[in-house]
C-alpha cells in the first residue's frame, strides 16, 4: 500500500489508480476545487503525505498548482501525455496500470527554493527556450526527468523546485541528443 494519499481529478482516475496500486485517493471534482476538498487534502498531507497525480493537460496543471499552493510540501507524480491518451482523450483514467506505477515510482518532492543549479543560460544553450524545437525538447526532457511537460518558465521553476542537479540535467540532455531531438 502506498502510504501517501493520491490527489486525482475524478472518480474514473480513482478507478485507474486502484487498478494499478493499493492506495487511497482524494478526488478534487475537477478544477473548481472547494475549500472542503482543500481541507481534506491538507489533513491528508498532515497525517500521511500527499502525491498529486493530475491529467497532463492545462486543467490538470491548473489543479496541481492550486493544490500545491494551498497545501505545502506535496509530492508530485507526472504521466506523459502519450501514456494518458486514449482515442484523443487525455486523462489519468486512460493510463495503463504500468504507466501509473511508473509515474508513482518517479515521485518528486518539492524543496525549498535555493540558488538554482540550472540557470536560464543553461536552458538557452540546451535549446529548451528560444529555439525552433524548444517545445519538443522540453516535452521529451520532462518525460526523461519525470517532471512533466511545461513551458520554459515552468520548466525553470520545476528544475528549481525538484532540485534537479547539473548531473541529472546533463544526463537528460544526452538522452535528448541520442534520440535526435
Q: List, for residues 137-161, the tens digit of each pLDDT value.
A: 999 999 999 999 999 999 999 998 8
pTM given for the model: 0.83
Contacts 24+ apart (CB under 8 A), 142-145: 142/78, 142/80, 143/80, 144/172, 144/175, 144/176, 145/169, 145/172
| pLDDT value at residue 101 | 97
Is 2 within 8 Å of 18 (Cβ atoms)? no
Q: Assess whether pLDDT exceeds 70 at residue 52.
A: yes
| Same domain flag for 170 and 104 | no
Answer yes or no: do 80 and 132 share one domain: no
Residue 115 lies in a domain: no
Segment 30-57 mean pLDDT: 94
Q: Rounded to an integer, what distance in angstroms lies between the CA atom of residue 126 and that of residue 137?
A: 9
Distance CA 126, CA 31 (A): 34
C-alpha separations of 117 from 25, 46, 107, 135, 158 in Å: 34, 30, 20, 22, 12
pLDDT of residue 89: 94
The residues, any chain, with a CB within 8 Å of residue 176's CB and separated by 6 or more, are 126, 137, 140, 141, 144
Question: What confidence tier does 31 reach under pLDDT thresholds 50, 70, 90?
Answer: confident
Q: What pLDDT, on a 0 to 100 scale, did the predictor assign at position 112? A: 64
Of 109, 130, 149, the domain-final residue: 109
Q: Is residue 114 in some structural domain?
A: no
How many domains does one find in the chain?
2
Residue range of the domain that includes 63: 5-109
Q: Residue 114: which pLDDT band, with cuts at 50, 70 and 90?
A: low
Amino acid at each position: 500500500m502506498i502510504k501517501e494519499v493520491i490527489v486525482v481529478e475524478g472518480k474514473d482516475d480513482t478507478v485507474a489508480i486502484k487498478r494499478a496500486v493499493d492506495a487511497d485517493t482524494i478526488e478534487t471534482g475537477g478544477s473548481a476545487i472547494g475549500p472542503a476538498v482543500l481541507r481534506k487534502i491538507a489533513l491528508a498531507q498532515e497525517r500521511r503525505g500527499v502525491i498529486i497525480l493530475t491529467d497532463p493537460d492545462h486543467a490538470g496543471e491548473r489543479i496541481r498548482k492550486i493544490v500545491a499552493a494551498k497545501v505545502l510540501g506535496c509530492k508530485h507524480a507526472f504521466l506523459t501525455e502519450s501514456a494518458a491518451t486514449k482515442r484523443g482523450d487525455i486523462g489519468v483514467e486512460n493510463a495503463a496500470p504500468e504507466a501509473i506505477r511508473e509515474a508513482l515510482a518517479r515521485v518528486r518532492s518539492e524543496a525549498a527554493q535555493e540558488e538554482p543549479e540550472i540557470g536560464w543560460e543553461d536552458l538557452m544553450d540546451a535549446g529548451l527556450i528560444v529555439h525552433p524545437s524548444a517545445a519538443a525538447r522540453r516535452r521529451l526532457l520532462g518525460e526523461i526527468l519525470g517532471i512533466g511537460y511545461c513551458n520554459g518558465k515552468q520548466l525553470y521553476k520545476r528544475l528549481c523546485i525538484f532540485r534537479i542537479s547539473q548531473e541529472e540535467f546533463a544526463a537528460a540532455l544526452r538522452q535528448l541528443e541520442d534520440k535526435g531531438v
